[in-house]
Amino acid sequence: MAPANNAFSLQVTNELVQKLAKENIVAKRPARKAPAPKPSVKPLEAPLVTKQGLPLPFYRGFLSGVPGINKEQAYQQSQEQKHDLVPIYKVLEETENLNKKLQMQENSELEKVKQLAQELQDRQFRAPSYPIPCQAEKERCLQCYRGSPESPVECAEAVRMYKECSQRVQQDFAERVATSQL
Radius of gyration of the chain (CA): 49
How high is the pLDDT of residue 41?
46
Domain locations along the chain: 56-122, 135-181
For residue 144, pLDDT beyond 60: yes
How high is the pLDDT of residue 26?
45
Whether 78 and 57 have beta carbons less than 8 Å apart is answered as yes
For residue 25, pLDDT beyond 60: no
pLDDT tens across 34-72, in order?
666 665 544 444 444 444 555 555 455 555 555 555 666
For residue 31, pLDDT beyond 70: no
Query: What mean pLDDT is reported for the chain?
Result: 76
Nearest to 148 by CA among 156, 177, 21: 156
How high is the pLDDT of residue 89?
82
The rounded distance, in Å, linking the Cα atoms of 69 and 82 is: 18
The rounded distance, in Å, linking the Cα atoms of 48 and 57 is: 8
CB-based contacts of 138, cutoff 8 Å, min separation 6: 162
How high is the pLDDT of residue 142?
94
The pLDDT-based confidence of 107 (bands split at 50, 70, 90) is very high
The rounded distance, in Å, linking the Cα atoms of 165 and 133 is: 8
Amino acid code (one letter) for 58: F
The rounded distance, in Å, linking the Cα atoms of 180 and 66 is: 96
